[in-house]
A and B are shown apart, each in its own frame.
Chain A
Amino acid sequence: MTKPLQYLGQGVFYALFMGVIGYFSTSPVYTHLPPDETLIKLSFSHAGQHMGECRERTPEELAKLPPYQRKVTTICPNRKRSNVVVELEMDGKQLYHVVLKPAGFSSSGNSNIYRRIPVKAGIHTLKARLKDHDGEDFNYVREETVILAPGHIMVIDFKAATGGFIFKNKNTESRLQNKEK
């Protein structure tokens, strides 16, 4: 093979190599979320109520304990906690239902959840319910109308100490409009 032809062949090889690297380093474009969808992320960590009766330690019992153990005044003979049940409703229809078991070998830990729930963007009535005891009634409920812009992430958190469900990044359309202004 003549030298010019060899150089041409080498050039083609390097060009092909460059083309493969250059193309697949960014293409084809991957569409992760359809254009008309938005995302709800349900995520919290919450301990269900104890299964058995708990009681306060008597002063005598506390006195018998070393000083560093006296902070915890309540004792629960049964360490096991209740499952945490969560339900999400959107525009009157059930969107999600889950029963969360407590963590740990003795089922004495928190119930944890992290879920991605893709939904259609738009104005929705969202209702979140949670029960953390053995009974039938949901002891935490929050219902709100939210505006979910496409591609935005609304986070549903839960903190019993601050009253229950927290809807974060809701009404994203108005936020988006403000941003655009």
Chain B
Amino acid sequence: MSYTIEGETGPWELVIGLEVHAQVTSQAKLFSGAATEFGAEPNAQVSFIDAGFPGMLPVINRECVAQAVRTGLGLKAQVNLWSRFDRKNYFYADLPQGYQISQYQHPVIGQGEIEIELADGTTKMVGITRLHLEQDAGKSLHDQHPSKSYIDLNRSGVALMEIVSEPDMRSPEEAGAYLTKLRQILRYLGTCDGNMEQGSLRADVNVSVRKAGEGFRTRCEVKNVNSIRFVMQAVEAEARRQIEVWESGGVVEQETRLFDTTRGVTRSMRSKEDAHDYRYFPDPDLPPLVLEQTWVDELEAALPELPDARRARYVGEFGLTPYDAHVLTLEKETAAFYEAVAKGRDPKMAANWVTGDFFAGLNRTGHSIGDSPVSAGNLGSLLDLIKDGTLSGKLAKEVLEAMFETGKPPSAIVEERGLKQVTDTGAIEAVIDDVMARNADKVAEFRSGKEKLFGFFVGQTMKAMQGKGNPALVNDLLKQKLAG
């Protein structure tokens, strides 16, 4: 059953498309040599080019183009060997040149697609219309002075990829899944850090509603939504607003809206009549962007493994469950950590430990995988200690806890705390003999058929050994001794 919103006149379908602005990960801006680091003092990272000084000219940054091409390849999209930069003309205080250099008619990347995963386990393809490179504008600060606005041009000229989807999504969940997946791919590729709080990734959400079987109705664009949760909320809020307009006999006007995150509603930003006439024309300062196929091929050959391929490999080669494979590939860092743990070891065991006790430990101690006190190498060593019988599973959990607290390798913790498992059969036999002597009545009961008492003897033996007895040996020896 597809997603609908129930109105007074019955169910409404949603039609959603996203335009995502992703800041290109690069040392320098798109057309100037200025740095791009986040959080610098205002106007500390501005060249005369970014500030639109007289006589300044743009020169394309090759690495930014490479990042766009890598992204296009990651989206299985067409790479256009010939593309062009256009000027989008409008006046604003934080747009120093009076135009934004963008790719209007001829984007560097054409059609592609993304497979999204939904909560019910199904997948869906969402089409990518295009990806183009453009400059970011600066930032106007209106809250620094009672009557003046301040301008910070650090962002001015920073390279953005605008990634436009087809109107293929039909629910808030799909929109959220699309943005999640896109972000994941960008982060795997290293072409955008995906940091939505810092504004490295922002989405314009196009929403319309319709009755089943209809063509598209008028859409509205909700600008600059800066989290996946807000995208999902904005879709629903805007859809409900439009349904109300249609059902009260009104007409939805094409317009640009903003999402009020505190009130959970969208409000009008500017109507179609106020829309700028951007007077696009080819930027005469920049020749067409012509790429060599061999260069594109080199970039493609050097692409990292992407989440879909990696997930398939984890299921196919490692025998992981699709769920575990999904969890382990969500973040590039997690997958890398897992692979380091699994290398030369049982991949399923590694998956269980990473997704189980290790994740729990991170949660408990408030760490992320990037600053985990337990390194992949140390977690691997812990698995080795289980494998060679030094530690029981139970002891290993204790050791891992200590590793989270101290950051030490497991061998050091085993040594310090004397946690080494006892595999000396003589020592285990001595303990078993003592337990049986102290519980002669239970031994008799067992021997007369009350076999479920076996667990009692295991427990008593392990208790006496402070949990350090090798469980398999304890079992074997108990069976022998109890058998008489």
Are A and B subunits of one complex? Answer: no
A→B interface (CB under 8 Å): none
Binding site for A on B (CB under 8 A): none
